[in-house]
Structure 1
Amino acid sequence: MTGKSVDDSYAGGLAATWRMLPTPLRALLIARMVNRVGGFSMAFLAVLLTESLHASVRTAGVVVAAFGLATIPSRLLGGWLLDRIGARPTILLGLIGCAAAQTVLVAAGTVPVAAVAAVGLGLAYELIEPATQAMVADVSDDRTRPAVFGLLFVSMTLAAVLAGGMAALVAGWDLRVLFAIDAITCVACAVVVRAFLPSGHRRPADVAVRLAPWRDRRLMIVSLTGTVFTTVYMTAIFGQPLTIASRQVGLWVIGAGTVVGAVAAVLAQPLLRRPKLNADNGVRALVLGYLLLAGALILVGFAQQPMLFLSAAAVSAVADVLLMGHLYATVSALAPPGGSGRYLAVFGLSWGVATTVAPLVIGATLSWHDGRVLWLGAAVVSLALAGVQFRVTRVVRGSRHTTGSSVVAADA
């Protein structure tokens, strides 16, 4: 960047923050937006298995859980590769792997073949995340980081506007088309990354030390609450399409809900710049986010008409803005210099756990009382997260960027 920083543009709004980002990061965000246009297919994986391959809901849950389990080593491998070969090769490997697995899903004629493809997709799916998030963390500070991470997530939601419209259009056709589109956008994203990101190199971390984020108690506490949140989140992602299908509301509502949620997320971005809401490590923003999420889950639990599902999508999107921006900003702030990629990779394991657990919970409970047990139970968990957040924030409010033996250890 030249002369100005993200901190200088903080008060200037979303567009000003975008202009201040370095060119490689802007190119990466654009590439991720291209990829996100086709990325809506994962919400339909369980539906593809049940509707196109005639799997039971329980079997579909096991396959989706296997996908989630595979994302756990994928996230760790992404952080490891980032430190050793750099961002561009790591991201390219993940994108090409995703495209290959999606292609196999398109061609799959049986549940076992689809299951193998889903596991392969999981192994590639999270490789790109540590590199992307570390680049975001490196260009921001404690004050601006929630807004810059918000920019990352809003870029995804802007793409989701087009993705939702496409899903609404294509969902009435063969669901395999969704996965073919996803594979194509992965390749398109790879082309942009290859053209604009610098060639691979090690992360600029102190080579004399080896980060040991597992020893950071604060990170473990944030990761624990983050895992509970992401499990609730993935329950909504995977469970809502099945709920909509079982209540015969119309599959178009899934795509339309994506559009409504994306618009709501864009409109909610100024919340990340409200000083009072974001003070004290964003504790008020996090509590508000959990309360809004609980409200959205309750709406889904009782929804029988499209309007209630769409209202839940809007409320949930506002919650996502508050929760995603501040959770990732908190983890980045805990990391020592040069360690954001590894810390974010460890925190990101919560998504792998959630993607494994949530489908199993859905498969076991979705049929109970028309899904109300599932959705109201998830709402109770979200309310509990709101209740413990002040205590969690007090724990992580201590010294930042620890460089003692609890976080780093000498290389053997």
Structure 2
Amino acid sequence: MTHLRDLLRQRLGGLPRAYWALWAGALVNRLGTFVVPFLALYLTGQRGLPVSTAGAVVSLWGLGAIFSSALGGWLADRVGRRATAMTGLALGGAAVLALGFARGVPAIAAATLAAGFLSELYRPAMQAAVADLVTDPVKRLRAFALMYWAANLGVSFALVVAGYVAKRSYLALFAADAATTLAFAAIVWRFVPETRPQAGAPAAHAADGDGARPGARERGPLADRVFVAFLVQNFLFAFVFFQHQVAMPIDMAAHGHSPATFGLVTALNGALVVLLQPLAGRAVARLDPSRALAVAGVLTGAGFGLYAVTTSAAGYAAGVVLWTVGEIFGLPVAAALVASLAPAHARGRYQGAYTSTFGLAAFAAPGAGAWALRHLGAPAVWLGCLGIGLVFAAAQLASGPARRERLGSR
């Protein structure tokens, strides 16, 4: 028991109470992550949309998220983390519920765009708040890893439940998703104070997360060449990763697998993160961020590339194992790296730009994946994912020296 207490103190200790409130809210929110993973199946199955149309509609979620992330980051720096997060979560929950009642392609498309915009408005503010609350670089990586762990714990539960609920009522999925989002807003309102650094406060030292060069205080994230290169690379990673939203379920359905099977296979992703991420945390932390991200690119590309040669549920599950380990090496490291590269006064905008790359990928990947499945065939889609993953890995290794120089490490 003493050893267990020491281990828990080592892994969980030293993080402030407000951080744990954000952690709990993220867990609650992810327990209701029902709509996005099943949106393509809902549109093709319940609404009878062609695959290409469904892919285009799902892409609108990502289009909304692109602009939402940029605005959310700006509001987080100008208005505050707390107000931005609460507003985004409350409006996002309402928009997801409205999507469940939408009928007809124009209404569904408009509701999807609105839901994608409003549902992602909170994210840069939440990530900036984590960076504000946890300034030590080692603890910060652990904090982002724990947030990522909580998100996957929730999703692993949500996907299994949603697969069975979807057989009876898709509307219930939308309602539950909205309810958990609103619950997160309530947690922020009750337990999370404003964390935004005061205007005019002295900049933090690079070791405390202000990794920008002198003069960066007058510039935004898109004028930071090192950071822009990271954004382009992250888009490539996210483009491959988001093929699990449309291309993967459609490909599985084409090979006779049910929505419940898709839910079980993809739930393996969250379950593996829950099991493996705490064990892998130390190993990942020992690696230079660029090398950890390169490993993530190889494994993620290989995981999706495996679908070019398998059509069984076990084969899809094996691919999930590979790209899940890629996630474990990549996503927490990337979030912590963004926090370190950002000056303290611009954390919201840097996190917003970073989150926008996921929105851009979520916009581009579904339509591109659906089009490629129809016109090029599944093997081309999955081999393309493998190629992009390898390009991403090479780019990470090439960018490492400039990032290490920026952060002052040798």
Instruction: Work out whether the TM-score is over 0.5.
Output: yes
Query: Within 2, Cα distance between the matches of 1:116 and 1:358?
Result: 19
- Change in Cα spacing, 1:84 to 1:160, as seen in structure 2 (3 Å) is same
1:243 offset after TM fit, Å?
1.6
Task: Name the SS for the 2:32 alignment partner.
Answer: helix
1:204 offset after TM fit, Å?
3.0
Q: One-letter code of the match for 1:231?
A: F
Q: Are 1:301 and 2:308 an aligned pair?
A: yes
1:203 offset after TM fit, Å?
3.7
Residue 379 of structure 2 corresponds to: 372
Task: Name the SS for the 2:117 alignment partner.
Answer: helix
Query: Within 1, Cα distance between the matches of 2:89 and 2:71?
Result: 14
Matched-pair identity in %: 30
Q: One-letter code of the match for 1:33?
A: L
1:166 offset after TM fit, Å?
0.9
Q: One-letter code of the match for 2:86?
A: L
Query: Within 2, Cα distance between the matches of 1:344 and 1:168?
Result: 32
Residue 149 of structure 1 corresponds to: 144
Q: 1:135 aligns with which of 105, 109, 129?
A: 129
Q: Are 1:49 and 2:48 an aligned pair?
A: no
User: Aligned ranges for residues 259-298 of structure 1 at < 5 Å?
Assistant: 259-269=267-277, 270-274=279-283, 278-279=285-286, 281-298=288-305
Q: Are 1:125 and 2:119 an aligned pair?
A: yes
5+ residue gaps, structure 1, are: 1-10, 402-412
Aligned length: 388
Q: Name the Cα RMSD after superposition.
A: 2.2
Q: Higher mean Cα deviation, 102-111 or 279-288?
A: 279-288
Residue 408 of structure 1 corresponds to: none
- Change in Cα spacing, 1:229 to 1:201, as seen in structure 2 (3 Å) is closer
Q: One-letter code of the match for 2:91?
A: G
Query: Within 2, Cα distance between the matches of 1:221 and 1:47?
Result: 35
Mapped contact 1:211–1:342 kept (Cα < 8 A): no
Mapped contact 2:93–2:119 kept (Cα < 8 A): no
Query: Within 2, Cα distance between the matches of 1:23 and 1:65?
Result: 37
User: Aligned ranges for residues 63-82 of structure 1 at < 5 Å?
Assistant: 63-82=57-76
Mapped contact 1:272–1:325 kept (Cα < 8 A): no
- Change in Cα spacing, 1:203 to 1:124, as seen in structure 2 (3 Å) is farther
Query: Within 1, Cα distance between the matches of 2:74 and 2:331?
Result: 23
Q: 2:406 aligns with which of 392, 399, 405?
A: 399
1:249 offset after TM fit, Å?
1.4
Residue 212 of structure 2 corresponds to: none
Query: Within 2, Cα distance between the matches of 1:14 and 1:336?
Result: 31
5+ residue gaps, structure 2, are: 203-216
- Change in Cα spacing, 1:338 to 1:47, as seen in structure 2 (3 Å) is same
Q: Are 1:342 and 2:349 an aligned pair?
A: yes
Query: Within 2, Cα distance between the matches of 1:113 and 1:391?
Result: 45
Query: Within 1, Cα distance between the matches of 2:250 and 2:14?
Result: 42
Mapped contact 1:85–1:201 kept (Cα < 8 A): no
Q: Are 1:254 and 2:262 an aligned pair?
A: yes
Mapped contact 2:302–2:389 kept (Cα < 8 A): no
Mapped contact 2:163–2:263 kept (Cα < 8 A): yes
Q: One-letter code of the match for 1:129?
A: R
Residue 5 of structure 1 corresponds to: none
Residue-by-residue CA offset, 1:56-103 (whole Å, 9 max, x unaligned): 111112212222111111111111211233222211111111111111
